[in-house]
Every structure is written in structure tokens, then in C-alpha cells.
Amino acid sequence: MKPGKPTSPETQSNPPIHSETSSNQALFFKAKSSEALLDDTLQQALKKAQGGFIEKRSQAIADVENFDSYKQQAQLVKNHTLDHLAYYLTQFEENVTKNGGHVHWASTPEQLNNIILHICERRDAKSVTKGKSMISEEANLNAALEAAGIDVTETDLGEYIIQLAKEPPSHIIVPAIHKTRQQVEALFRETHDLGERDLDNIAALVDEARLQLRQKFLDADVGITGANMLIADTGSAMVVTNEGNGDLTATLPKVHIVTASIEKVVPDLESASAILRVLARSATGQPITSYTSLFSGPSGIEDLDGPDEFHVILLDNQRSQMLGSPFEDMLKCIKCGACLNHCPVYSAVGGHAYGWVYPGPMGSVLTPLMTGLKQSSDLPNASTFCGRCEEVCPMGIPLPELLRQLRNKEHEDHLTSWKTRFSLKGFMWGIQHPRVFHWITKTLRMILANSVLTRLLEKHVLTSWYSSKELPKNYSKGTFMEQYQQDSKQKKSKQKKS
């Protein structure tokens, strides 16, 4: 896509950071997942995380009378909003302006970065603090800010850890889930001026980060946060956190910029309440997070703190294309992460194998839609179709069905390998020709009944699949058809006798 224009010489000198640079990694799912399975430290971290989330969520759901009805209400809100998206976006824009804020529109991630750079340059910003924002991850905003010589600090503890480690997030709500305590300690020792301080427990690590980041909050010129929802009726951005980092980011610097995607808008505060009720329960198993905050503009004359400028940047990045398409349901996603926590594939390989900012089942749908199926053709296949993701999704998104559709599309677009296409074609032809089909099944059964031949097949022909598996042993008297025919003959002869 074309970068935003017109651009100033200054912004041109900072080449737009293409999201493709990071999305390319989605091509390597197979290789990366094999690596992940052999990484002991990662496996240790994943094992620790896995059970906790599932248990906490199910407890939170058991604690309320009727979670299904909560889900229904939340889905009602999203369905209605998506049906009238243009109306609510217009209303949101009007009301932000009424509150004294500014709304900006970005079709592409590069445009979002350019708008932020423009605001930062105009305010001569030297340092930026960030609350967690997946939209800024889509845009690779940190790289763009650094390229412009601006010091950028992630303030969500998990995001801060992976920023120090120079890694992308591996989970949408706990970005450093793949790091063990020891790894975090090593990172802090490497990057902080620690002196004699002890960091041998989690409390000490959290305190150390608090100390370092407190000064960053106070010094920052611009604060950038994401938004969990945008309220059309009041022109507000709703930010949900547990640490309070979003609030410090939105309150201390002179400029507050909210980055959000267009489908985050909801009609009013009553609608937002319905979604809040399912969000934290599905994500961390809390009835509500420590802080749910509503930001509605720059500070007023009476206020003693807060920013003097308030901006909301709305990013499209292919979402308007999903609207009205077979993938529209994906726009209902509230980024709670429940599908990641319950996915057997994610739990085994972690988030980095997925190669882009969104991992797990929701990422396997979003990444191909946003970065192109060609760049991420393994992802729709990174699922066992066990259906747990759909079951736990508070918005009822049919994730397996969407993945199935992507697999179809992959086949139609000739993105699958010649081996797969050839085998499928052969199979189609075979099942349409009964004689051939019966001959093949007869031959196969004979091979499988013979242990020498079976081993030959395992060790020398189908090596890539059977190096870690065994073919089934077959002790049957014949193929299904052979046994059926024999059975019918016996019955007939019995009937004749009687």
C-alpha cells in the first residue's frame, strides 16, 4: 500500500517500517515450532503458565450465575456495532472533538506511525512511554520511534521485559509468558545499574522494574496507550489494566495518544459494561481488572494534572476488508487470549513460533488476513480442530470454521505444496473409481498385515511422517468390502439351507 502523503522531508527521511518485515517470520512456523519443542527453558515456562489460566477462568465463570447470558449480551453488542460501524465511528469522532480531543485515521500501520511521528516532532518529544498496545505491535511502532531518535519505553512489565530482551510478545495479554524468573533476573542485571541489590525473588524483580519505570513515567513527553474499547456516545477510550501503567502513561506526559483499531468502537457505556463482564473473566479469571479507566480528552481548566493534548488514532489495517466477508466474525475479537490459553498447539510451542504479533488460534486467523495468506500459509494448518478455542471464546467466534475456510482458500490459491495437491487429486480420482479403490485397499491391507513390508514403508518410503510414529498393525481377515461380501455369502447360503 502507498504510504501516507503528503509527507514532510523529515518523515521521508525515516523510512516507513513495513509490518511485513516482522510478518515474514510467519512463514517458518514448522521450523520454529520444532525448535520450540526442543527448548527446555521455554517448555518449563509454558508448563508453569498453562494450568493456571484455565483453572482461574473456569473458577471465575463458576462464580457468576449465568456466564452464558453474559456472553450473549456481549455478542449482541458487537453484532449490532459491526452492523452500524460507520455510524458509530462517525459518532465517536464527533464526540472526541466535542471533548477537545483529535481523531486521526490510518489505513495502514505505516500511516499510524507517520501520524505519531508527526505529533512527536511537533511537540519536540524526546521520550515516549507506552502502555500495552497490540495495534502499535502491528505497526512495529517502537522501531519507527527509535529510528526517529526518540527514546521509547514499554511500561507493562511483560512488555518491558521483552523490550529489554529485544523480542516480540509471545502472548497477547502476558507478553513475557515464555520467560522464566531466572531469565528476567539475568536481563535486569545486564541492563540496569544494580549495585548490590538482590533479585532472587519475584517481588524483588517487580520492585526493580517499578523503580526503573517510575522515572520513565515522570520524564516522558508523550504517552501512548492502546484501548480496549472506544465509546461512541461519550467520545472516550476505555483502557483496562492491572498494573496501573496505562493510567500513568495517560496522565503524566503532556500528550496522550490512543492507538486503536476501528472495530473497537461500541455504542455507549452500557454496551461497554456487557463486554467488560466477559473480558477479564475470560482473560485472567478476574471479575474485573484492578483498573478500568475512561479517558475523554485533555485536562480541563480545573484539573491539576493530565495531558494538554489528547489524540485517538484509528487504524484499519485490512479490517474494513474483513467486514462483510466470510471472516467478519473475527472482528468481534476482544483480545482476551482465552483461545491461546486453551489451545493444545499454542501450549506446546508458545507464541513466537507463530511469527507475528498475534499467536494462537486468533492469530492463525488474523495473521493471514492482515499480512497475506502467502506469507503465513502454515498458520491455518497449525490447529488440531479440537474446538476448544471456539468453546471458550466469549464472543462465540467460530475459529475452527474460519481456519477451515483459510485452508480452502489456500488450496484454491495454489499455496499448498505439490505433494499435497497431487495426493488430494489422486485420492479424489481413486474414490471415484471403485475398482481402483478396492484394489488399493486390498494391497494396503496386505502390506500392513506383513510386519516386514510395514517396516520397509515406515523406514524407507514415508520417512518424514513415520520417523516418530508407527503404522497401525492390521490383523483383520480382509478389507471391509471383502469381509462384507463374505458375510453376505454366508448368510445367503444359510438362508438357502433353511
Partner 1 sequence: MSINLNRFNRVNRKKIFNRIERTKKSAIPQAPKRPPLLHPQFDISALTEIFLSKLSASSSTYQSVDCLSLVPQLVLQYAEKYNTNKTLVTNLDPFLNSDEPPWDWPNALSLSTPPATGNEAIGLSYASTAIAETGSLVLSASKQNPTTVNFLTDHHIIILNEQDIVPNIESMWKRLSLSAGNMPRAINIITGPSRTADIEQTIQLGAHGPRSLHLLLLTQPSPY
CA dist., res. 108 & res. 331, Å (int): 17
Which residues have C-beta within 8 Å of that of residue 231, sequence separation ≥ 6?
A: 92, 237, 238, 265, 266, 268, 269, 272, 294
Choice between 251 and 371, CB closer to partner 1: 251
Taking the complex as a whole, the smallest distance from the CB of residue 314 to partner 1 amounts, in Å, to 8
Beta strands in 72-191 (DSSP E): 102-106, 127-130, 151-154
Cell of 107: 489505513
CA dist., res. 392 & res. 430, Å (int): 39
Choice between 216 and 407, CB closer to partner 1: 216
Choice between 29 and 70, CB closer to partner 1: 70
Integer CA distances (angstroms), 464 to 35, 376, 444, 459, 469, in order = 16, 22, 19, 9, 10
Neighbours of 421 (CB within 10 A): 13
Taking the complex as a whole, the smallest distance from the CB of residue 288 to partner 1 amounts, in Å, to 4
CA dist., res. 199 & res. 179, Å (int): 15
Taking the complex as a whole, the smallest distance from the CB of residue 215 to partner 1 amounts, in Å, to 9
Choice between 17 and 279, CB closer to partner 1: 279
Choice between 23 and 111, CB closer to partner 1: 111
Choice between 101 and 380, CB closer to partner 1: 101
CA dist., res. 292 & res. 247, Å (int): 9
CA dist., res. 39 & res. 53, Å (int): 22
Integer CA distances (angstroms), 267 to 51, 177, 211, in order = 36, 34, 39
Choice between 321 and 463, CB closer to partner 1: 321
Choice between 80 and 189, CB closer to partner 1: 80
Taking the complex as a whole, the smallest distance from the CB of residue 239 to partner 1 amounts, in Å, to 10
Taking the complex as a whole, the smallest distance from the CB of residue 232 to partner 1 amounts, in Å, to 9
Choice between 298 and 400, CB closer to partner 1: 298
DSSP SS3 for 299:
coil
Choice between 104 and 388, CB closer to partner 1: 104
CA dist., res. 13 & res. 114, Å (int): 11
Integer CA distances (angstroms), 286 to 143, 246, 280, 282, 498, in order = 33, 18, 5, 8, 73
Taking the complex as a whole, the smallest distance from the CB of residue 296 to partner 1 amounts, in Å, to 4
Taking the complex as a whole, the smallest distance from the CB of residue 440 to partner 1 amounts, in Å, to 47
Taking the complex as a whole, the smallest distance from the CB of residue 238 to partner 1 amounts, in Å, to 9
Cell of 454: 510395514
Query: Can the peptide bond before residue 6 be classed as cis, meaning omega within 30 degrees of 0?
Result: yes
Taking the complex as a whole, the smallest distance from the CB of residue 148 to partner 1 amounts, in Å, to 13
Taking the complex as a whole, the smallest distance from the CB of residue 153 to partner 1 amounts, in Å, to 12
DSSP SS3 for 258:
strand
CA dist., res. 324 & res. 322, Å (int): 6
Q: Please write down the long-range contacts of 91-97, taking CB distance under 8 Å and 24 or more positions apart.
A: 91/232, 91/233, 92/230, 92/231, 92/232, 92/235, 92/265, 94/235, 95/232, 95/233, 95/234, 95/235, 96/235, 96/297, 96/310, 96/312, 97/235
Choice between 11 and 454, CB closer to partner 1: 11
Taking the complex as a whole, the smallest distance from the CB of residue 58 to partner 1 amounts, in Å, to 16
CA dist., res. 205 & res. 183, Å (int): 11
Is there a contact between 465 and 457 (Cβ–Cβ < 8 Å)?
Answer: no
